[in-house]
Each structure stands twice: as structure tokens, then as C-alpha cells.
Amino acid sequence: MSNQSRQLFGTDGIRGVAGEFPLTEESTYLIGRALGHDLLRGKPKALALMGQDTRESSAWIADRVAAGLAAVGVEVHSAGVITTPGVAYLARSRGFAAGVVISASHNPWTDNGIKVFSGDGFKLTDARELAIERDIFALLQRPGAADDTAMKVAGPSLPGETALRKAYIESLASSVSSDLSRLRVLVDCANGAATAEAPELFRSLRIQATFTHVTPDGRNINEGCGALHPETLGRTVAESGGKFDLGVTFDGDADRALFCDEEGRVVNGDGVLLLTARDVQARGKLAESTVVATTMSNMGVEIALKKSGIRMLRANVGDKYVLEEMLKTGAALGGEQSGHIIFRDGDATTGDGLLTALRVMDVMVRSGRSLAELVSDLKVFPQKIQNVRVREKIPFAQVPEVQQAIEAAERELDGNGRVVVRYSGTEALARVMVEAESEEKMQALTAGIAGEIQKWLGA
């Protein structure tokens, strides 16, 4: 089912401005009801788990969705503030029919979102999301559907939050066998969901961790910090005078992580994919010697992997689509440049920033090499991503001037670079990505394509 056929669900659930459709009090309640209908289809009862990030709006949206679920007979348990992969883990390990996360990940605090995992810990299929969406629209058109007295009741907030989070932290800690206590790490929690688990997790493994951005106030999530701003972390590490072996930074819901080495140089998801792929391969666990990346992954990582005898497949952007390709091909490892890394040599079903951080540190300790050494042969092609705000998402092939600009750029690169032009799955943006051997060519080609999009489709 193509993304085009869905109106509410994007590449990562439903997302928008909190308080505006589809994230109003009425619509979030009806989303809960529609999800409840889906979970109870053919079953007498179902349990759902709710988790949320630290945004000001997350608590009331969680309450509305929970009230909608409860109104149709779904029993709701709350894990409170918890990372997205924490909900996925608990959904699959504790017998829940679904795990629901209230978060807009890396978006500003004014946005929020609803993402859903099925009971096996995987994100819902496009087809299932479409069916739920149809039910939501049917409910919206039914007079009085949101006048239910249940909507006026605060959503369930059942006990057990601490125990649920503790189970997730313990599962992460048990996934590492190395002694990580010699590592000195600066950790940026983005004032987001990682603030609820990262300090306890790192403490339990005796890692020498210093934490920043761990004072969420509902509005400072991702603000000048976190995986959206890895340069903040890099600068602090660089200025520390050798105080840290590495830095790690999470996004708002901690399903991804980015890093910096001891000199403060940023290591993104491409670098992490390279160093973990080699490690998994060396331990004989890299099925088919294959990893899955995305259309945005740099040519440099593909070349470096090839030198190690590892084949790289490309999926559409979105960790959901990386995972689909992994399941189809049997690949044990996949990831995105943005820091979503999925480890299928264990039981992970989604990107997990905390797990990724532990895996990177584990490779450093076992190999006796620094992060810089582990990615030293990664020669990154100059790459530029330019976002253009658009008024509507018309297929580029239907706009001759844009299509001609793309084709002209591809002819000029002649195989020594790449052009990827796509729409964001979560925002009204066109993303123009160009890789070229020279900085000058990259800048010129990016500007040419972005200019045509702005001219014909710009908001």
C-alpha cells in the first residue's frame, strides 16, 4: 500500500501540530476508538500500552487516546515517559495487543504524534494503517461519536509505570557482555524521553557518563540539542580537553542516536552502520553479508562496506521501510544516516538509540579501538540536503521543469554521485539530496533543482 493512499498516517504514524486536526481533543479520542476497533477485531479482549515523550501536549493526547481505547473495551496500561523503542519492547514482551507512543520525535515541541506498534513490536503495516484511517474518518462523520461520556473522563493512568520502564532498562543492560566502565561518555538526552531511562541504564553498567539536556520543561525538547544538533555535543566534547572518549546524543523519543569521537567530530548513522556491520560480520552473524541502508545513505559508506565484502541494499527513507527490506532479505542489520539502526541479530524490531549507544561502546571496548579509528576509512562524498517548503506534494514526474532539472543533474554526475529528490513523510517539505565528488558541483546542482521546486511548487 503506498504512502500516497493514506491521509493521516505518514512514514512514522500520525503527526501534526498539537491542538490542530488531526491532534484535537475530539480527533485523538476518535483515533483511540478506531484503534480499539482494530485491536478487538475477532477478539473478546485486548490490552494496550501507552507511552509518551516530554512535550507539554503529550499527557493530554495520551489521555484522549487512552479514553478512546477504553470506550470500546480495550484495557490500557501506562508506561509514562518512555522511549519509543521501550514501548515496542514492552508490547512484544508483555503480551500487549499494541503499544502506542505519543511523540513527534525530532519535531519542535509544538508538534506531536501518535505511532502504533502491534503486539509483535513491529510498526503497523501500511494496509492496517489505512483500514484504521478509514474508521477514523467514518467516526468523524458520525454525529455524536465524540460526545461519548467516556471522552470527558481522564484517560486511564494505571500503576506499574516504574516496573515497566525497569524491565526495558534491564533488557538493554543484559544485551551487553563487555565491561563498559572504562568509557568516559558525554550524553545529550535532548530534554526528551531518554531522560527517563538513559541515566539509570548507564549507571547500572557503571559507564562514566556525564549527562546534558536532562531537564525537560515540556517546551525545550530538541531545542538546540539532541540528535537534531549533534554539533552542540561535538563542540562540548572538543572543548573538554580530552575529558571524554565519545559523545552520544538522542532525538526526542530516543529511537535513534548520533555520536561524536574524542575530538568532537560527528559520526552519523552511516558511520555507525559501517562499524557495527564489520563487527557483526566478524562474529559470523551478518546474514548474507548484507546490510540495508536508505536512498539518503552516502556513497562513501557503500564503498567502504564493499571493501569489507559487505553488500549494501537501499530502501526508502523511514526505519519502517528499512525493516521491511531487512525482513524480506533476511538482513541482520540496517539503518539510516539519521541514526536509526536496527539490530536483528538480537530481537529488536525498531531503531533504538539506547541500544545503538551500547552496541557502539561494546565494539570500542572489544576492539580496543577509538570511535575515530573504527570509521577512519569512511571517505564521505560531499553531500547536501536542501529542504523546500511546498504547498502540495505533486509527483515530480508531473512537473516537467522539476523533472528536467533532476535529469540534467544526473547526466552531469554520470555515475560519480547521486541525486535523490523526495517528499518528507512527516512534513510539507521536498528534500533535495545531491552527492558529488566536488563541493562546487554539489552546491550548484542542489541549488538548481531546489530553485525549480520553489518556483513551481513552493509554499
User: How many Å apart are CA 322 and CA 344, to the nearest integer?
Assistant: 12
Helix (H, G, I), strand (E, B) or coil at 236: helix
The grid coordinates of residue 17 equal 501540530
What is the dihedral angle through the alpha carbons of 234, 239, 243, 246, rounded to the nearest 10 degrees? 10
- Among the listed residues 35, 56, 222, the one whose alpha carbon sits nearest the alpha carbon of residue 115: 35
- Helix 299-307 and helix 269-282: axis angle, to 10°? 10
Provide CB contacts within 8 A for 439, sequence distance 6+: 382
The answer to whether 261 and 370 are in contact (CB under 8 A) is: yes
Q: Which are the catalytic amino acids?
A: 105
Phi-psi domain of 234 (left: phi exceeds 0; alpha: psi -120 through 50; beta: other) = alpha
The answer to whether 372 and 265 are in contact (CB under 8 A) is: yes
- Among the listed residues 77, 431, 364, 353, the one whose alpha carbon sits nearest the alpha carbon of residue 196: 353
Residue carrying C-alpha cell 477514523:
136
User: How many Å apart are CA 172 and CA 8, to the nearest integer?
Assistant: 33
- Among the listed residues 203, 288, 455, the one whose alpha carbon sits nearest the alpha carbon of residue 280: 288
Quick count: other Cβ atoms within 10 Å of Cβ 215?
11
Give the HSE-up count for residue 194: Cα atoms under 13 Å, Cβ half-sphere. 35
Helix (H, G, I), strand (E, B) or coil at 119: coil
Sign, CA dihedral 413-416-422-428, equals negative
The grid coordinates of residue 10 equal 505518514
The grid coordinates of residue 223 equal 531545542
Q: Where are the alpha helices (DSSP H) in 94-177?
A: 126-140, 161-173
Give the HSE-up count for residue 451: Cα atoms under 13 Å, Cβ half-sphere. 8
Residue carrying C-alpha cell 489505512:
130
Q: What is the CA radius of gyration of the chain?
A: 22
